[in-house]
Structure 1
């Protein structure tokens, strides 16, 4: 099977579901998006917007390494 994702208004969704009813339910499956997917999508869109408008923070590999070392040391015994 292949997946098609459609963002649409509720009235259009009703028409699409009505159209799909012309086919056997063995031929398609409606997949609903869960809350974690929607939350992740919002976070990624916000990050993309920051990158597009120039307000994103970027770090060098050395800065990242220092941050990770500090974080790891906080959890070591």
Structure 2
């Protein structure tokens, strides 16, 4: 199944929902909006601003692996 998101005017919402309700449930499911999309969108926009401004930095998988190996090595030496 494919998933789409529609932005519908309040004045036609009841008509759109009625139309969608005419389909069988195995062919179409109405997924309620939980607000998570908007929260995720705001978070992503803020993170992009941080990257663009230089307040944040991204790492490749290889760079991250190297950083983690160094950090683990430092902590292993303290425990031993």
**TM-score after normalising by structure 2:** 0.48
In our comparison, the structure showing a higher alpha carbon Rg is 2
